[in-house]
């Protein structure tokens, strides 16, 4: 290749790299490969790439009220790398990336035939996100009874858990709300928290401790959930969701005054929470007042809840309970009907206990799933 052609190619690759930076500033660069001489696998690189992109889309779309995803669906390869591969200059593009400061998140899945079985090699890095992930490699082996497609899905989730452990944990919690098998989410959360700096104040520790509390509620352990939520607000006193969840756990434990204090801490935040979260706060406060036999004040709190967020099925249902306690059966039935009408408007955030479970205002009430959880939303990532 003569010098003029080489110079022109370098100029084109540099321009393409700049275009990648503009088009995909927060995308994960995805890559896949299948050995050409391995005949045990009836799957090609394009199919693996599709599975990988589908998992990125599912995980990054998990609803969150406290964090933004670090991963986005991107092209399997950037424009610059795609051009480089056609002229066999991939190493040049990698060098150019570091020269211009463009270090994208990367994840690659490679099918490997080894020891007479099928494996997937996961490799990548996530140096540009909030939680920095240095270059890594991990090998997963096909399990007995597992298909290659299932192995690729498992590998994709494992790799994305390295790059964005918080949203991957959210995804895993939502995926297992029915079978209650949170082992993968629990393992990922624990591993990630062990890698966090041991600082007294940590936004990230608060996020993950809050998820541990949600899992504890699913497992029926309100006392342990309360400990985890308190750990979260200790690590980050500005985490409104953790304060709300602490109030919910205290409510579940029959600590009604403490639950109200928790909600007041949440509302004292300088940042106004989303309407769905504010309505959940008024619901929790109202349930605590009902537990204290202050039905009239509880009535006022639920009126505020539906005022700030008229689409809340849970708020209308709890308000109906209050009306029933006050002897107004007709109003209770009307509010129950309003709750059912709003059921398809359910706004789900996996981090918020009041959107998963019914507020417990009766003594020794067990942890009960909300009847208004929207399966079409909760099972989106299955």
**pLDDT tens figures, 134-188:** 889 999 999 999 998 999 999 999 999 999 999 999 999 989 988 999 999 999 9
**Mean pLDDT over the full length of the chain:** 83
Task: Break the chain into its structural domains and give their ranges.
Answer: 3-163, 192-378
pTM for the full predicted model: 0.82
- pLDDT for the residue numbered 114: 80
- pLDDT for the residue numbered 317: 94
Residue 146 and residue 82: Cα distance in Å, rounded? 33
- pLDDT for the residue numbered 184: 96
DSSP 246-290: HHHHHHHTT-HHHHHHHHHHHHTSSSPPPHHHHHHHHHHHHHHHH
Strand partners, 117: 114
**pLDDT tens figures, 235-259:** 999 999 999 999 999 999 999 999 9
* Cβ neighbours for 363, distance < 8 A, ≥ 6 positions apart: 254, 291
More confident residue, 212 or 19: 212
Surface-to-core class of residue 14, CB atoms within 10 Å of its CB (0-12 exposed, 13-18 middle, 19+ buried) = middle
The mean per-residue pLDDT over the stretch 175-202 comes to 93
pLDDT above 70 covers what percent of the chain? 78
More confident residue, 111 or 100: 111
- pLDDT for the residue numbered 370: 87
**Does the pLDDT value for residue 319 go beyond 80?**
yes
**364 band by pLDDT with thresholds 50, 70 and 90:** confident
At the fourth CATH level, which superfamily is domain 192-378? Answer: Tetratricopeptide repeat domain (1.25.40.10)
- pLDDT for the residue numbered 88: 53
**Does the pLDDT value for residue 379 go beyond 60?**
no
- pLDDT for the residue numbered 72: 67
- pLDDT for the residue numbered 142: 92
Residue 375 and residue 379: Cα distance in Å, rounded? 6
Structural contact between residues 104 and 24, judged by C-beta atoms closer than 8 angstroms: yes
Structural contact between residues 354 and 280, judged by C-beta atoms closer than 8 angstroms: yes
**Does the pLDDT value for residue 11 go beyond 80?**
no
**347 band by pLDDT with thresholds 50, 70 and 90:** low
């Amino acid at each position: 290749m003569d010098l003029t052609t080489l110079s022109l190619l370098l100029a084109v690759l540099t321009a393409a790299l700049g275009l990648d930076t503009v088009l995909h500033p927060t995308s994960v660069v995805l890559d896949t490969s299948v050995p050409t001489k391995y005949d045990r696998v009836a799957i090609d690189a394009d199919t693996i790439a599709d599975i990988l992109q589908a998992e990125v889309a599912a995980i990054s779309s998990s609803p969150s009220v406290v964090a933004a995803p670090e991963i986005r669906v991107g092209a399997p390869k950037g424009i610059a790398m795609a051009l480089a591969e056609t002229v066999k200059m991939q190493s040049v593009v990698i060098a150019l990336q570091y020269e211009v400061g463009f270090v994208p998140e990367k994840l690659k899945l490679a099918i490997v035939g080894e020891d007479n079985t099928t494996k997937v090699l996961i490799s990548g890095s996530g140096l540009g996100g909030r939680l920095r992930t240095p270059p890594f490699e991990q090998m997963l082996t096909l399990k007995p009874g597992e298909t290659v497609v299932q192995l690729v899905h498992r590998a994709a989730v494992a790799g994305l858990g390295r790059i964005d452990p918080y949203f991957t944990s959210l995804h895993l919690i939502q995926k297992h709300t029915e079978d209650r098998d949170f082992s993968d989410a629990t393992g990922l959360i624990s591993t990630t928290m062990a890698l966090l700096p041991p600082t007294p104040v940590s936004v990230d520790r608060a996020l993950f401790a809050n998820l541990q509390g949600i899992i504890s509620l699913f497992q029926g352990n309100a006392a342990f959930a309360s400990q985890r939520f308190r750990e979260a607000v200790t690590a980050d006193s500005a985490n409104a969701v953790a304060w709300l969840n602490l109030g919910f756990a205290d409510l579940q434990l029959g600590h009604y005054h403490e639950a109200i204090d928790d909600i007041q801490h949440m509302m004292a935040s300088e940042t106004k929470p989303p309407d769905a979260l504010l309505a959940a706060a008024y619901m929790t406060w109202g349930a605590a007042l009902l537990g204290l036999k202050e039905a009239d004040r509880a009535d006022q709190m639920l009126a505020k809840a539906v005022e700030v967020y008229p689409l809340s099925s849970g708020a209308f249902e709890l308000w109906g309970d209050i009306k029933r306690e006050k002897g107004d059966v007709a109003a209770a039935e009307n509010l129950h009907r309003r709750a059912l009408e709003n059921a398809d408007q359910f706004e789900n955030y996996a981090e918020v206990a009041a959107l998963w479970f019914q507020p417990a205002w009766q003594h020794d009430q067990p942890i009960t799933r909300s009847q208004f959880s929207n399966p079409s939303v909760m099972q989106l990532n299955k």
